[in-house]
Amino acid sequence: MTQKHPDFEQEAQRLAFTKHYMRQLLEESKRDVQSAQDSIRQSMADLEYLDSSLSYLNILTNARFFEMARDQKEGLEAIKQKPYFARIHFQKEGEPAEKLYIGKTSLFDRETQEPIIVDWRSPVANVYYDGRLGDLTYKVRDEEYNGHLFSKRQYKIEEGQLLDVQDIDLTTNDELLQEALAGKADIRLTEIVSTIQAEQNAIIRAHLKQPILVQGAAGSGKTTIALHRISYFLYTMGEHFNAKELMILAPNQLFIDYIGDVLPELGVDQICQTTYSEYAQQATGIKLKIQNPNEQLEKLVSEDAIDPTVLWLTKMKGSLAYRDVMDRYIRRIEAEIAEQFEDVYIEKYRILKGSHLRKLFLGDFSYMPIEKRIDRIKSVLQNYVRQKKKQILLTLNKRYDDILDKALFGIQDAAKRKQTVTKWIDERDERIPAVEKQAKSTSSNYMKRFKKQKIKALYREFLTNPDLQSELTPEWSDAEHEQFCNAHMKESWALEDLAAIFYLHAKIKGVSEQWKMRVVFIDEVQDYSLFQLAALKEGLETDMFTMVGDLAQGIHSYRSLTDWAPVRELFPRATYKTLQKSYRTTIEIMAVANEILSKMEEDLPLVEPVVRHGDEPTFHEMKELDPAEIELIHQQIRDKGHRSIALICKTSDETMAYTKLLQKAGVMAQTLSESSEIDQDALLVIPSHLAKGLEFDAVIVTAIEKPFHDSALDRKLLYVAVTRAMHELHLVGSARSSFLLEE
Ligand SMILES: Nc1ncnc2c1ncn2[C@@H]1O[C@H](COP(=O)(O)OP(=O)(O)OP(=O)(O)O)[C@@H](O)[C@H]1O
């Protein structure tokens, strides 16, 4: 047994004190919750006979009070078992030294306002993650402070009991990290705040108002970092940003479920977690039956070839060149609209020149989406009409007064005078109300010419109208035009079309407030096309994107990114960072993964595993699926205490077939599809492309009938499959070469 830390008893007392204090607060907040509830009930009852506005005010105040008390109660309950995980002994220049305990949320002494626990996201906690011992500087709201860090200490606390105390210096090798990494796949994500590494911390806390792009190796913590950055962002910028304005884009529903539990643990609620496809359809209000991009991929995997037309279409529709085509289309629509601005009249009076409105539309208001500009022009027109109507009425009234005066005093003959005066009065009494009436409807009548655009129809028109295509894409060859037209004869929608539709919607109608996210986090960004990113950025009018990805896992690269340079051009303000260290896999598994990585065309450095050893990956020769042997491997893994175990196949067809065979032989196997709930007791059978982003304690990769070839796509699929394993890897196939490994 390792020796107890000399301060163990003291630390145990500190923990006891903290827990005691928290218990008191918890009791108090429970009472507060209760009393706020009682007050609300009372106010409701009083509604009947008290002045109702006073009662409403009472209810509102108590509701606010109730929410505060409830939040505090929930906050305390959440950290009760583990109030903090580390301590820094720190001295800020010019102030006395302090011992600060760092936890998931902060807690202050009510009387002294001294911190009992400091939030991990607070500026001073950065010292724990970032600072080596000794003199250092840290930032609070862009201002730099000096300080001295005497010691860093970590605690192992479980169920409110102090188990261990460790002093550390170099965080990279600390024992807490080692222990965390040795943990199980299903309990880990939430506990990472205590072991975040300096290089990860730098990304979590990197300039929040600037975009950031991270190329990180498999298992380097990209997803983890993105989630923690959201938490940090809301903590630091919460005053200016509402959680509802933040969005995280994940590759699929499976992945969303996987991270779904983590965000609330990090104190993040209400943030929109979705996929690009879902988001684009919701934001545009256009529901489309989108071909599953995985089907295309499947085809590519099984047939090793892709229809050249499909390939051309996919690549082209994902490119910025396609955005330029859409821009031309928008300009064409704009020009058509601009043509329709004629002079505006009330009766015979021209109140506004068409050229003036056209100038507003094409010039002054050009920064807005087209239909927003038209709305603005409508209000401009309404104002003009209002003012001009007054002037016209004044002029007319004056004119009639003058004419009447002239008639009354100028015409000698009484009968003639009467006749003339009556004529003018009649004319006036008819004309003035008519002008008033016309003025009322001038703007709305005038604006009727501008019809609302139907985005889907508009885009469909482009896809199917050869003349329009020729006009908008003069750079395409005749053959390309023909291909394009033929491919779209039948209505069908690919993921690529969504970027164009979202873009057209954004530029023509504008993204509505509800969907106007101000901050975007994208995981697996290598699977996006440039146009997808550009459409989002322009539609949302923000570049506050956190993008994390790994080109080595770019299994959709025939349709998406193969290089970060164009993304960096698209986001010129973006900080670019790389992460080379993998926290997921053991050294032994990473060696296999690196062998595959080194065969890739992309110039990616090998991944450095954090020093953690495990069993050597095992190769099992199998010419056809032997359920009994698979079950044996499965059980052996389970006997070692591992819980999440996946069998990763190359294709979905194999996934289905193997699950059936295994189930028939009595093995508890479950196919994991995009919509399924994970059953931790089953052997999860999953195709390689769906496994991306997930992780398992142990992985069995199969290449029984279908070997992985030495092709760009297969290397990536295999790399993805292998790097899902945390502790154990088994390769089951007809030969080692089926896994691109030396015999
Ligand atoms: N600082 C850390 N302390 C403890 N565990 C960590 C740390 N960083 C990452 N991990 C763990 O490493 C594993 C990989 O992290 P994550 O899934 O975020 O990586 P990733 O880069 O998104 O991987 P991939 O690209 O392969 O999907 C997770 O189990 C995560 O909990």
- pLDDT on residue 242: 86
Q: Answer yes or no: is the C-beta of 177 below 6 A from any ligand 1 atom.
A: yes
- pLDDT on residue 733: 94
Tokens of 198: 């300096």
In 3D space, the residue among 464, 542, 462 whose CA is nearest the CA of residue 500 turns out to be: 462
Residue with tokens 């409110």: 160
d(CA 224, ligand 1 centre) in Å:
6
Q: Is 221 a known ligand-binding residue?
A: yes
Closest residue to atom 26 of ligand 1, CA basis: 218
Confidence of residue 706 (pLDDT cuts 50, 70, 90): confident
Q: Which has more pLDDT, 114 or 459?
A: 459
d(CA 522, ligand 1 centre) in Å:
16
Q: Answer yes or no: is the C-beta of 614 below 6 A from any ligand 1 atom.
A: no
* Segment among 252-256, 506-510, 560-564 with least mean pLDDT: 252-256
Q: Is 216 a known ligand-binding residue?
A: yes
What is the average pLDDT value for the chain, to the nearest integer? 88
175, 192, 224, 525: residue to mutate for ligand 1 pocket, most atoms within 8 A of CB: 224
Q: Answer yes or no: is the C-beta of 154 below 6 A from any ligand 1 atom.
A: no
State the average pLDDT over residues 86-102: 91
Which helix or strand (DSSP H or E) is residue 100 part of?
A: strand 98-103
Q: Give the chain's end-to-end CA distance (angstroms, integer).
A: 43
204, 584, 608: residue to mutate for ligand 1 pocket, most atoms within 8 A of CB: 584
Three-state DSSP class for residue 477 = coil
* Segment among 52-61, 245-254, 643-652, 678-687 with least mean pLDDT: 52-61
- pLDDT on residue 453: 93
d(CA 220, ligand 1 centre) in Å:
5
Specify which residues 671 forms β-bridges with.
Answer: 685
- What number does the ligand 1 atom closest to the CA of 549 have? 25
Q: pLDDT tens digits, residue range 39-81?
A: 777 777 776 665 666 667 777 777 777 777 787 788 888 888 8
- pLDDT on residue 172: 42
In angstroms, the CA 148 to CA 137 distance is 8
Check: complex ipTM more than 0.95: yes
Three-state DSSP class for residue 51 = coil
- pLDDT on residue 48: 63
Q: Would the pLDDT of 169 be above 90?
A: no
> How far lies 515's CA from each of 158, 242, 287, 376, 541, in Å?
41, 13, 15, 21, 12
- pLDDT on residue 395: 93
655 within 8 A of 625, measured Cβ to Cβ = no
Q: Answer yes or no: is the C-beta of 180 below 6 A from any ligand 1 atom.
A: yes
Q: Is 218 a known ligand-binding residue?
A: yes
- pLDDT on residue 423: 93
CA angle 7, 11, 17 (to 5 degrees): 150
Confidence of residue 610 (pLDDT cuts 50, 70, 90): confident
Closest residue to atom 15 of ligand 1, CA basis: 221
- pLDDT on residue 173: 46
Q: Answer yes or no: is the C-beta of 634 below 6 A from any ligand 1 atom.
A: no
Tokens of 434: 């008519």
Q: Would the pLDDT of 370 be above 50?
A: yes
Q: Would the pLDDT of 349 be above 50?
A: yes
- DSSP letter (8 states) at residue 430: H
Confidence of residue 145 (pLDDT cuts 50, 70, 90): confident
Q: Is 36 a known ligand-binding residue?
A: no
In angstroms, the CA 30 to CA 17 distance is 20
- pLDDT on residue 594: 94
- pLDDT on residue 170: 54
Highest mean pLDDT among 172-181, 237-246, 305-314, 378-387: 378-387
Three-state DSSP class for residue 368 = coil
* Segment among 170-174, 190-194, 285-289 with least mean pLDDT: 170-174
Specify which residues 271 forms β-bridges with.
Answer: none
d(CA 223, ligand 1 centre) in Å:
7
> How far lies 127's CA from each of 148, 200, 201, in Å?
10, 14, 10
Confidence of residue 321 (pLDDT cuts 50, 70, 90): very high
Q: Answer yes or no: is the C-beta of 222 below 6 A from any ligand 1 atom.
A: yes
State the average pLDDT over residues 610-627: 91
State the average pLDDT over residues 375-380: 94
- pLDDT on residue 211: 97
- pLDDT on residue 171: 44
Q: Which has more pLDDT, 35 or 586?
A: 586
The burial of 339, by beta-carbon neighbours within 10 Å (0-12 exposed, 13-18 middle, 19 or more buried), is given as: exposed
Tokens of 90: 């720190």
Q: Is 103 a known ligand-binding residue?
A: no
- pLDDT on residue 47: 66
87 within 8 A of 100, measured Cβ to Cβ = yes
Q: Which has more pLDDT, 169 or 443?
A: 443
pTM of the model: 0.87
- DSSP letter (8 states) at residue 290: B
Q: Is 691 a known ligand-binding residue?
A: no
Q: pLDDT tens digits, residue range 76-89?
A: 888 888 899 999 99
Q: pLDDT tens digits, residue range 405-445?
A: 998 888 889 899 999 999 999 999 999 999 999 999 999 99
- What number does the ligand 1 atom closest to the CA of 583 have? 12
Q: pLDDT tens digits, residue range 566-590?
A: 999 999 999 999 999 999 999 999 9
State the average pLDDT over residues 166-177: 62
Specify which residues 249 forms β-bridges with.
Answer: 274, 522
In angstroms, the CA 432 to CA 296 distance is 69
- pLDDT on residue 269: 76
Q: pLDDT tens digits, residue range 256-273?
A: 887 777 777 777 777 889
CA angle 188, 189, 192 (to 5 degrees): 90
Q: Answer yes or no: is the C-beta of 191 below 6 A from any ligand 1 atom.
A: no
In angstroms, the CA 567 to CA 159 distance is 46
- pLDDT on residue 436: 92
In 3D space, the residue among 408, 396, 466 whose CA is nearest the CA of residue 433 turns out to be: 396
Which helix or strand (DSSP H or E) is residue 19 part of?
A: helix 8-46
Q: Supply the Cα-derived Rg of the chain in whole angstroms.
A: 34
In angstroms, the CA 465 to CA 488 distance is 10
- pLDDT on residue 180: 67
Q: Which has more pLDDT, 626 or 52?
A: 626
d(CA 638, ligand 1 centre) in Å:
22
If you count DSSP H runs as helices and E runs as strands, how many of each does the chain have, helices first? 26, 23
Three-state DSSP class for residue 267 = coil
Tokens of 626: 């032997």
Range 437-444 contact pairs with CB under 8 angstroms and sequence separation of 24 or more: 438/346, 438/347, 439/346, 439/385, 439/386, 439/388, 439/389, 439/392, 442/344, 442/345, 442/346, 442/351, 442/381, 442/385, 443/378, 443/381, 443/382, 443/385
- pLDDT on residue 137: 84
